[in-house]
């Protein structure tokens, strides 16, 4: 039998509590057992759907598969490639054994700590400038020359990051606040200034979005984004660390077909502590992403975070990025009629159709579209105020150009046939 002890950070008392144990038995069954003391001291479900402690206390899966909540702690695609070099059996391991192997080296996932009881576990987040420059260079070399990068051991900065794109996490030495560094991975254009500019537009449109800046790592300028699950507040007498437990929305969706924003909205209605506010944010982000053709809107880029004890809210936006190919499909269709911008115009009628689909009233829909309209109409000035070069404005105008009439209320929905 193997087990991983699971701890959850409680912000009000500034400490971790043992939430329970993740166990794999000799018959390859994996089960999570809530700790009895945790149920008394900090009774917050780790996951409102798959690990809801008001329903039961033990959750079981088969064949070495993890309960869905814990899959978010498995390394992403880039890190898995690195790990296949470090640990030969990696590709043949089941989900539990992959997490067990990783947890021997680190277990710090912010609000969630995983402890496999191994002396090798080292949870210090990288912050040394030289080390970060080496990682940044390794990622770029891996991409451009297609070489496999070998690290001495599984690294929290690399292997603690999920997703398909190569990136790494680091911490400020003074506060421990965490950031993700996202080297450009697009051969067609430099994503770094575009990501920063996209963040400026998001803020102008009143989208709840993570802070994005540009940081130099050696000779590379890389876009960095604050980890929305982690914050640090310095007080007069004491420091306060905030760590939020988060759940990717993709594991909360019931729909087995191709999910759309209507399915995301259903999750929000079911679990959010303030569904109307979060649905409005979802709509605003959707019409913004449609306008700039942000096609990499994968479901795992949407999260719910627990702001208290089972006070789930939609997490800030962090993944919007324009795609110059306006024929490309969105990873998550807005509706079944709106899977690619080649099939529709992101105008006021699209905004209204989507808003009604996810259950918003006309007042909110019109308010959100007005925010977007004002932002995109003022795009050049926003970038000029941030001292961005004119080439950035030209890039966004080229992305918007094929559907530049999106600010005019069209008489045509521009829908493809509903097949």
- CA distances (Å), 167 to each of 65, 137, 184, 312, in order? 26, 11, 9, 27
Q: How far apart are CA 50 and CA 155, in angstroms?
A: 29
CA angle 332, 316, 8 (to 5 degrees): 105
Cβ–Cβ under 8 Å, residues 400 and 346:
no
**Where residue 220 falls among pLDDT bands split at 50, 70, 90?**
confident
- Taking only the tens place, the pLDDT of each residue in 82-126 is 888 778 799 999 999 999 999 988 899 999 999 988 766 776 665
Q: How far is CA 315 from the centre of its chain?
A: 8
> Which is nearest to 353 in space by CA: 343, 378, 318, 315?
343
Mean predicted confidence (pLDDT) in 185-209: 94
Structure tokens at 419: 């097949």
Domain with CATH 1.10.1070 in the chain: 246-407
Which class is domain 246-407?
Answer: mainly alpha
% of the chain beyond a pLDDT of 70: 89
> What is the pLDDT at residue 127?
57
- Taking only the tens place, the pLDDT of each residue in 360-408 is 999 999 999 999 999 999 999 999 999 999 999 999 999 996 655 454 4
* Pick from 115-124, 226-235, 318-327: least confident: 115-124
Angle between helices 362-377 and 191-204 (to 10 degrees): 130
**Where residue 132 falls among pLDDT bands split at 50, 70, 90?**
confident
Comparison of pLDDT for 287 and 218, the residue scoring more: 287
CA angle 119, 122, 126 (to 5 degrees): 165
Q: How far apart are CA 277 and CA 267, in angstroms?
A: 14
What are the respective helix, strand and coil percentages of the chain, to the nearest 5?
Answer: 35, 20, 45
- Taking only the tens place, the pLDDT of each residue in 245-273 is 999 999 999 877 889 999 999 999 999 99
Its pTM stands at: 0.90
Q: What's the mean pLDDT when you consider all of the chain?
A: 88
């Amino acid at each position: 039998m193997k087990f991983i002890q699971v701890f959850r950070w409680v912000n009000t008392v500034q400490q971790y509590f043992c939430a329970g144990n993740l166990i794999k038995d000799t018959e390859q069954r994996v089960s999570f057992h809530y700790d009895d003391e945790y149920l008394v001291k900090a009774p917050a479900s780790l996951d409102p759907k798959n690990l809801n402690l008001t329903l039961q206390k033990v959750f079981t899966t088969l064949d070495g598969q993890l309960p869905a909540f814990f899959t978010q702690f498995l390394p992403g695609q880039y890190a898995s490639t690195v790990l296949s070099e470090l640990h030969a059996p990696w590709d043949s391991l089941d989900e539990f054994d992959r997490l067990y192997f990783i947890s021997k080296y680190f277990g710090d996932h912010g609000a969630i700590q995983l402890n496999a009881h191994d002396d090798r576990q080292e949870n210090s987040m990288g912050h040394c400038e030289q080390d970060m420059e080496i990682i940044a260079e390794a990622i770029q070399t891996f991409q451009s020359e297609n070489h496999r990068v070998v690290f001495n051991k599984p690294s929290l900065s690399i292997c603690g990051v999920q997703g398909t794109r190569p990136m790494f996490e680091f911490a400020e030495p003074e506060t421990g606040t965490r950031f993700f560094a996202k080297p450009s991975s697009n051969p067609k254009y430099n994503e770094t200034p575009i990501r920063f500019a996209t963040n400026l537009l998001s803020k102008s449109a009143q989208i709840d979005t993570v802070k994005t800046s540009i940081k130099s790592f050696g000779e590379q300028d890389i876009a960095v984004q604050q980890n929305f699950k982690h914050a640090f507040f310095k007080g007069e007498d004491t420091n306060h660390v905030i760590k939020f437990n988060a759940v990717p929305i993709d594991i909360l969706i019931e729909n087995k077909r191709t999910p759309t924003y209507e399915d995301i909205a259903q999750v929000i209605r079911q679990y959010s502590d303030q569904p109307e506010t979060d649905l409005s944010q979802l709509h605003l982000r959707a019409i913004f992403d449609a306008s700039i053709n942000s096609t990499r809107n994968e479901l795992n880029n949407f999260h719910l975070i627990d702001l208290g004890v089972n006070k789930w809210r939609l997490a800030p936006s962090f993944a919007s990025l324009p795609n110059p190919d306006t024929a490309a499909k969105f990873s998550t269709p807005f509706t079944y009629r709106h899977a690619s911008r080649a099939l529709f115009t992101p105008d006021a009628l699209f905004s209204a159709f989507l808003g009604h689909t996810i259950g918003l009233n006309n007042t909110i829909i019109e308010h959100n579209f007005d925010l977007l309209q004002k932002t995109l109409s003022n795009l050049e000035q926003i970038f000029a105020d941030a001292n961005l070069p004119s080439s950035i404005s030209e890039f966004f105008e080229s992305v918007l150009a094929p559907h530049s009439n999106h600010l005019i209320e069209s008489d045509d929905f521009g829908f493809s046939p509903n097949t």
